[in-house]
Every structure is written in structure tokens, then in C-alpha cells.
Structure 1
Amino acid sequence: MALSRQGNSLTTGRANQKQRTRRALVDAAFRLSSEGRTLSMPEVAEEALVSPATAYRYFPNMRTLMLDVATREGQPKIDEVLAALPDDPEERIDALVTVVTGFQFDNEALWRAVLSTILERWLAQADLPERERVPIRGSHRLESIEVALAPLADTMSPDQHRRLVMATMLVCGVEAMVSARDACGLDRAEAVDVMRWAARALQRAAVWESRGTRDAEVPESVGR
């Protein structure tokens, strides 16, 4: 058991280090591009304090890197809403989903290009062992959802809270936007409304489930 935990810790540590390296490259490109410069991968690598070879492992060309820079530009909008989140858990997640859907629908073509690049990265690494793969995307959205749902962490088990965070990831963001538009055929207004509703509905279901687990009671209406 101890060896298993140690192995999990090492795996998590490597994954975290890869995310930090990836973020350092994106942040470096963001800083340099903000100066109006035409970038090269060696310049970005130098700014990020890594080798060009390492940079190319994460981003095979400047196009893939600059698409990540585009996603980085959305982070200030998320940071702004996170800094002013209300106390009510439902209002918190609704505020976050509203902001994310807003800036993604404002530039839908860009975000579809971002998703295309993410899929290309996955395909390029599909035959590699898991330990050799580099992250195909950042973790900003996941971290933001964790912040928005943090007040519920003390009201449910860690497993229940983690499941709620992951389920919320499925109903907001670029993947949800494409599903709403293409698979469901929704216009922007209805797509946003559905994603906001889904995030709130998941939270209510998780809260009800956690109360049922604590009280070992099932409402009479369930199953009718």
C-alpha cells in the first residue's frame, strides 16, 4: 500500500512539473507578445528558462503556442470574476460559467481553433506511454471551478466534491460550446442558458446527494 501511494505521489509530481513547465512557456510567450514582438520558439524558451528542445516538446510550432496564448488572454476575465464571487454557491458557479461562455462565444472561431489544436496534440502523443506525454492543455478552467465550488468542500465528502468539480467541467468551456452549437443546434443565447442551468443542476444534485449520505434519508418523492 505504501509503495502504491509513493508511486501515485511520484506520478502526480511529474504531472505537476509538466504543467508548470507548460505554463511557464505560455506565460513567457504572453509577456513577449504583449510587447508587440514577433516571437520565435528559442526566444520564448529563453524567457521561460528552458531549452528550445523542451519548448518544442510542449509546442511543436509557434501556431500551437500562440493559440495557448489566446486562451491565456481569457484568464484575466476569469480572475476578475473569481475575485468578486458572491457567498452563495449557486451564484458563484453561475457567475463563472457566465463569464467563460461570454468570452468564448465572443470569439467562437478562435476557440474552435484552440480545440482543434488540443485534439491535434492528443493525436500526436496517442502512441506514447502515459509517462512520456506532455500536457495537451492548461489547468486554468479546472482550478477556477475548484475555487468557485470551494465553499461546498466542507458539506460533502472529498469524492463527492471532486465528482461535482469534474462534472461541472463537462458542461462549460469550449467542448460544451461546440456540443451545444453543433450537436444540439442551439443559438448562442440558448446555449449559454443551457450551460448555466446544467452547472446549477449538477450542484443541486450533488448537495442533495451529500445530504442524503449524511442523513441516510431519501425523500418520499424520489422514485415516484
Structure 2
Amino acid sequence: MALSRQDNSLTTGRANQKQRTRRALVDAAVELSQQGHSPTMTEVAEAALVSPATAYRYFPNTQVLTLEMATREAQPKIDAVLATLPEDPEDRIDALVRTITDFQFENEALWRSVLKAVLERWLSRVDVPERDRVPIRGSHRLESVELALAPLAEVLPADQHRRLVMSTMLVCGVEAMVSARDACGLGEAEAVDVMRWAARALQREAVRESAATPAPARPTPASR
């Protein structure tokens, strides 16, 4: 039986209300994180003017909420830079790393919370056989680095290109930010400079290494 116009309106209204509530919870969590700490679900619910029970219906724990906050903060900014990447391979990866460092240092508390959530999810599955584990985090950053380095896929052998992609992942993102800040003791400006330099240096070394490696000899035709 087809829904009446009134039923359709009620269904649409409920869906819109759910979207507004979800958005309000994420907005509240982002605002609280900008104050420099990881908010609890109760604090987020209070800031969003809903009950804790309502908040938990949308996000079963703070890990899920934190990862959604990160996705909403990062994805539009990364997508924007990917849509306007320059042609030069070195400029491409520099633009991407610069974008990532800019928005992560803009809200460092949020991204440290993201790393905490990722580590907590890993620890919660430490007893699960590796073959049965679901991915701990999304693949958006990896896919973005692959796209930025795509022009070099025609220059580098496949194994060297893959190694370049993976090593670049080690020098950008929240893990690199925390390492630069905490292990190296760098200020924000120097940390950004070091991460950008490292990404460019890795690319230059990969290209140099590939150029210095002699191409495999072609087999000679069998004599008759």
C-alpha cells in the first residue's frame, strides 16, 4: 500500500530530525574538543541539548563519535585539494601533506583523540585472530596519498612505487604529528616543515634510486 502524503511527510520529518540530532552531537563534540580535551558522551549530550540515552543511540561509544568527527573534519578538505592537484609530482604530495598538517594542527586535541580512539579499538580486538579482525580505520588517507603519487606509477617499478606510498604514509597524518611534537619536541611550524620536507625527500630518493637501477636485460632470441 502506498504511503499517504501525510505519512510521507511524517517519515521525512523524522529522518530530518535524526540528521539534525546527529549533526548537533558531532558539532558539540567538535566544539568541546577544541577546548583541549576529549569530551565524554555525557558532556557531548549536554552540549547538544539531548539526553545521554539519545546520544548513545546515535553513537555507541566515544570511539565511534571521535572517528566520525575526524571524517567530517578531514574529508571535505582532502577532497578539495585532490580536485586541484598540480601536475608536478613533488608539488602534488607537498600540497596534500600541507593540507593534512594544516587541519590537524588547527585542532590538535581532536586528532590526538582520534589516535586514542584508534588505539583503543586495536586494544579491544587484541585477542581476536588477525584474519577475523575488521579494519580499525578507514583508507581515505592512503587512497589520497596514492592519488597524489599516481603520476610516478609510470616512472617507478611497481614495488618501488608501493614502497614510496607506504613510506609517505609514515611522515604525514596524526601519527607523524604526535611523533614530531612529543618525541622530537618540535613546535608547530617546524613540525610542519619537517613533515613536508620528509615527503619530498622520499619522493626524490625513490626517483633517484629508480634511475640508478639498471633495467633488466632483455632475453635474446633462441638460436635456431
TM-score above 0.5, yes or no: yes
State whether residues 85 and 148 of structure 2, in contact with CA within 8 Å, keep that contact through their aligned partners in structure 1: yes
Deviations 1:147-201 (A, max 9, x none): 0000000111111111000000000000000000000000000000000000000
Residue 76 of structure 1 corresponds to 76
Q: Does 1:108 align with 2:108?
A: yes
Deviation of the 1:31 alpha carbon: 8.4
Number of equivalenced pairs? 172
Residue 161 of structure 2 corresponds to 161
Deviations 1:47-102 (A, max 9, x none): xxxxxxxxxxxxxx331111111111211000000000000000000000000000
Structure number, greater radius of gyration: 2
TM-score (norm 2): 0.71
Decide whether aligned partners of structure 1 residues 32 and 164 sit closer, same or farther in structure 2, where only a CA change above 3 A counts.
farther
Deviations 1:120-144 (A, max 9, x none): 1111111110122121111110000
Q: Given residue 82 of structure 2, which amino acid in structure 1 is its aligned partner?
A: L
TM-score (norm 1): 0.71
5+ residue gaps in structure 2? 1-17, 26-47, 217-224
| % identical aligned pairs | 63
Decide whether aligned partners of structure 1 residues 181 and 30 sit closer, same or farther in structure 2, where only a CA change above 3 A counts.
farther
Q: Given residue 94 of structure 2, which amino acid in structure 1 is its aligned partner?
A: D
Q: Given residue 71 of structure 2, which amino acid in structure 1 is its aligned partner?
A: R
Residue 33 of structure 1 corresponds to 22
Residue 190 of structure 1 corresponds to 190
Decide whether aligned partners of structure 1 residues 105 and 129 sit closer, same or farther in structure 2, where only a CA change above 3 A counts.
same
| d(CA) in 2 for partners of 1:200, 1:183 | 22
Deviation of the 1:33 alpha carbon: 2.5
| d(CA) in 2 for partners of 1:80, 1:215 | 38
Decide whether aligned partners of structure 1 residues 32 and 135 sit closer, same or farther in structure 2, where only a CA change above 3 A counts.
farther
Decide whether aligned partners of structure 1 residues 30 and 69 sit closer, same or farther in structure 2, where only a CA change above 3 A counts.
farther
- Equivalent positions of 1:19-168 (< 5 A) are 33-34=22-23, 61-73=60-72, 74-168=74-168
Root mean square deviation of aligned Cα:
2.2
| d(CA) in 2 for partners of 1:184, 1:43 | 38
